[in-house]
Amino acid sequence: MLTSTRANFTHRRTHRPAVAAARHRLAPALARLAAGLALALALGATFGGASAALAAQAGNTAIPVVAAENFYGDVVKQIGGSYVDVTSILSNPDQDPHLFEASPKTARALQSARVVVYNGADYDPWMTKLLGATQGKDRTTIVAANLAGRKAGDNPHLWYDPKTMPAVARAVSAALGTADPAHKSVYDANLAKFLASLQPVDARVAALRARYQGQPVTATEPVFGYMSDAIGLDMRNQRFQLAAMNDTEASASDIAAFERDLRERRVRVLIYNSQATEALTRRMLALARQSKVPSVSVTETQPAGVNFQQWMLAQLDALDKALAASDPTQKPAQH
């Protein structure tokens, strides 16, 4: 299981040098955001006063919330409804989520946020620095890794663990209820609705486990690791995945083993992170196509136009179809 080697999940992408001219480094982006924070703080009275006046005129009492990743922001919206104003920092599914574009708007949002949600486990270490640079009054910070009992060195892709989002949702409901006691009953009701809406995801995981437990699969990165574990898949080539995630060189023997698994069809499916398709990933995808091994795309950022539950279900459906396609005797489960 992926979690058995969790001490190796250093997630160095947030600290790596540039690997292509077209890609931005995190450090300059963080510097731009720090500059944005300085600007926001320097002009805080002007912008803050104007914002407060506009809010008063519009009767807008929504709780300002900042989520580092948009899937946590989506959960906040589902719990808070019209009583929250959510800003998600990482929200573009077409870009590498480990790098981001900073702006003074984001800086001001963090400065005024009453609730902040981020992943932790060294996935988004820049959040700790940014929060330390702001002086949010009465701000509640929710760290998914703390709720899940994970730490730096563990697989940081916590949102693929079916246990994570219920814990985050409960913490969000409690934080909103503290910030806005008048609507606590609304948040409690929305929490119950959200938890109930996760039941189809849990049912799909259980169905896949019943059908495919122990089946060998591989992946270019450990993004889907917790979900793979929940389904009971036999995940291969884990050293290769860690090297890809940490932007280090996979060994020649690990690359050869990965290629052999694909060429000889020792795995049923290749799972890949479609937001980080570098040269070696593209090479493995091409080999999978040549070897007629189905591939399944997963992402680190929630796509536009769907909620968290729909996103998870769509990926589980894609996995079901791919696993069935790799075995002519199997058919995808009927939903």
Q: What is the pLDDT of residue 307?
A: 98
**Contact status, residue 46 vs residue 283, Cβ threshold 8 Å:** no
Q: What is the pLDDT of residue 246?
A: 85
Question: How many Cβ atoms sit within 10 Å of the Cβ of residue 90?
Answer: 26
pTM of the model: 0.84
**Strands in the chain per DSSP E:** 63-69, 84-90, 115-118, 140-143, 216-219, 234-236, 270-273, 295-298
Q: What are phi and psi of 115, to 5 degrees?
A: -135, 135
CA distances (Å), origin 265, targets 229, 236, 289:
21, 12, 11
What's the chain's Rg over C-alpha atoms? Answer: 21
Q: What is the DSSP string of 215-256?
A: -EEEESSGGGHHHHHHHT-EEE-HHHHHHHHTT-PPPHHHHH
Q: What is the pLDDT of residue 328?
A: 58
Q: Which neighbouring-strand residues pair with 270? A: 218, 295
Q: What is the pLDDT of residue 298?
A: 97
Q: What is the pLDDT of residue 136?
A: 73
For the chain, the structural domain boundaries read: 2-197, 200-324
| Distance separating alpha carbons of residues 43 and 153, to the nearest angstrom | 39
Kindly state the tokens that stand for 196: 């109930």
Domains 2-197 and 200-324 share a fold: yes
What is the assigned CATH class of domain 2-197?
Answer: alpha beta
Q: What is the pLDDT of residue 277?
A: 85
Among the four given CATH numbers 3.40.50.1980, 3.40.50.300, 1.10.10.10, 3.10.290.10, the one describing domain 200-324: 3.40.50.1980
**Contact status, residue 20 vs residue 279, Cβ threshold 8 Å:** no
* Spans in the chain with pLDDT lower than 50: 1-7, 12, 14-31, 38-59
All residues at 6 or more sequence positions from 40 whose CB lies less than 8 Å from its CB, including other chains: 47, 104, 107, 108, 111
Q: What is the pLDDT of residue 94?
A: 78
pLDDT digits (tens, 9 = 90+) for 263-302: 999 999 999 999 888 899 999 999 999 999 999 999 999 9
Q: What are phi and psi of 21, to 5 degrees?
A: -60, -30
Question: How many Cβ atoms sit within 10 Å of the Cβ of residue 190?
Answer: 21
Q: What is the pLDDT of residue 331?
A: 61
Reference 243, options 16, 4, 1; nearest CA is 16
Considering Cα of 147, then 152, then 153, then 155, what sign does the dihedral take? Answer: positive
